[in-house]
Structure 1
């Protein structure tokens, strides 16, 4: 519990917050030994999941093929048991052939930064995580229509947590072209009998940081047809941090908090949303027989910019459904296409559901220090997505369009150019190049060397 609560908080900050005990009076007493600083998953890890070890200390498993399954595949590495660090000796496209990758075994780090250029891009499928203590970095997942007919029921998230997944970090990944959500935290609404049990049974302690979450497919293969969605944060998910992400060209859910969700949204750039950007919705039809729970949303230092797909009337945060939302907001910017302010609040319901504005954050990951909103666009465009030192064509295209106010919501990956087909590459993994403790490079030139991989 200590590790989760005090993730990322320095001893100085703890003392300032009154969290370190000192004598009240009397003679000086010997100073107690300093408590060790919390051990982060990697430098800069934040949120309630920041101290997950992932696969630290486990065996190294090398991905040696771009095949969707079989010996040496990413699927085989994910299905292995026990603590493990997954590294890559190949670069290129992994075609899942509509068979979702499912992470069921806990204590795993998926280190896409170790792949030779052009890195790893997963197509025609997505990834679900129903385990705990999972870290994934520098992976691209571009699900797409997979050749399926419109309205055929191919409903694939690019990434989603499932069940009671916890201590999960998705950092510096690119998650696009989903036919359901691009990046979500999900699970059952009501596991157990009490609200505390509901929250324990849903995804919790999740961090989504520095990702590109973009171009969800609108009129595509989802049975409901329109389904260009950014992030669905499912009912009763708690302790979720969404920070430093680029949301672009999603019709709605950038993000959506469902009923009873408790989470923090910080320093995200939201560009060209469709009918909604941030929204909250507890649906009475889904909560029948259960007591409504108060949602909690903290939004600090975010930027919303309208684009070609954005209607004239759009609010930063809108409420629907029937449950109330406790909201704390500070230093958020919302503007239309020529920089005029947009309203902070709106609603798409005639029910009595209301946004309850509070003066203090109802929750906040200790040690989190947000950027000022005026600095967010530059920071996000420089850092977000997989392998910012080695971006692929579509990430470069997307970021250029966001910077210049171009682009739009799309119906298919074919509206761009179809799935990518880079030339496969290979390079032996050298453990001496990496700090295996947190999978950071030992030397600055390690990442650059990835661009010199051998073509296969």
Structure 2
């Protein structure tokens, strides 16, 4: 696929063909839409691929104050198992500024413990990197922690996590009331246009099997999963825990193993606390079974003991031969009930396309840098198109494995970018030339 074709496809999904690229690729949606990110802050340039030290990615994200992180280098950042935590707010990480092949972060997880954070156009591939099975030190791709809020992770690619690929975390019961719980855990989070795939199953997680897509932790509120593609994760595509208030809109879920979308308030985790009814809205999603999907796996399944208000509209659920499958079911004998929601739980102004168009348009626009696909992402999208691929135990089972690109370099020119949102300026054609 040419870069220009991919860019045009992005426009088709998110706006008319004569719209500017910045409206299509850099539009912020959801309850996190008002995030500032690093707007107005200083520009910090990543100038090398070192794991630590001056000019490194780690140094940039750990800096204080409003900041926009840009890249004058492309290639692979090998963190060697050392995780990263974003602790200071008002940050934009603009992976779109890197020269081809972009930035791939391997052998690490990234935690977001701050507010007003935007991350775009990076590839996160933790992997097991030779560690013993069930040895612990499992890693997410990205997770929010604490009371992170006004966070957007957009147009990124996640694979080979040994815990969840992309999650929303935080404390369950910080405070005296349910309102306190919601305020003090992660809230106002948007995960949009991401590729989320091949969570590793029998790898380093001490519990054993752990191929998981996205976990949204108890009482998280204002969570939007928008226009993402989930593929070949055994479970949690996504999992919403007790009391969550969230929407999944225009996502494609392919080849889950045991569960696609599910909700579960776990009784022993809530001991001593009043159960809260969750709110989950599913609109315009497509769920397609694959070679690893267990028979009778529904689009949405309820487990545990807490009720959930569920709103369903315009979702497609089919098996690998195109036959419709059930959209709802249960997987435990708990007391929980699915309550039909009177209205959708959705952020205002969200653009939604019909589910019947999703498989034509989403694969062309989703993931990091669709104008210059990473080979790992390209293979995944080919697997989805051909109804193949599988759930794997190690990154070594992927035919490509960790990328080994030589470093590339290109000076960052501020005039090439609209600094208020890091979309390309009118001269973007010089940055994104077709092959």
Give the TM bin, normalised by the shorter chain.
Answer: over 0.9
The answer on 1:370 being equivalent to 2:352 is yes
Flag structure 1 segments of 5+ consecutive residues without an equivalent: 1-39, 452-456
**1:57-456 → structure 2 map (5 Å cutoff):** 57-361=40-344, 363-416=345-398, 417-442=400-425, 443-448=427-432
Give 1 or 2 for the bigger CA radius of gyration. Answer: 1
Give the C-alpha shift of residue 42 in structure 1. 8.0
| SS of aligned partner of 1:197 | helix
The corresponding residue for 1:26 is none
Alpha-carbon distance in 1 for matches of 2:265, 2:430: 47
Give the C-alpha shift of residue 96 in structure 1. 0.7
The 8 Å contact of residues 75 and 103 in structure 2, kept in 1 or not, is answered as yes
The 8 Å contact of residues 288 and 320 in structure 2, kept in 1 or not, is answered as yes
The 8 Å contact of residues 303 and 332 in structure 1, kept in 2 or not, is answered as yes
Alpha-carbon distance in 1 for matches of 2:369, 2:324: 33
TM-score by length of 2: 0.93
Give the C-alpha shift of residue 418 in structure 1. 2.8
Alpha-carbon distance in 1 for matches of 2:159, 2:185: 24
| SS of aligned partner of 1:448 | coil
Alpha-carbon distance in 2 for matches of 1:139, 1:165: 20
Give the C-alpha shift of residue 446 in structure 1. 3.8
| SS of aligned partner of 1:255 | strand
The corresponding residue for 1:12 is none
Give the C-alpha shift of residue 369 in structure 1. 2.6
What's the RMSD between the two structures over aligned residues?
Answer: 1.4
Flag structure 2 segments of 5+ consecutive residues without an equivalent: 1-22
Alpha-carbon distance in 2 for matches of 1:237, 1:359: 21
Residue by residue over 1:75-102, the C-alpha shift from the partner in whole angstroms, topping out at 9 and shown as x without a partner, is: 0001110000000000000001111111
TM-score by length of 1: 0.89
Alpha-carbon distance in 1 for matches of 2:424, 2:300: 40
Give the C-alpha shift of residue 432 in structure 1. 1.0
Alpha-carbon distance in 1 for matches of 2:430, 2:166: 29
Alpha-carbon distance in 2 for matches of 1:153, 1:213: 22
Aligned length: 411
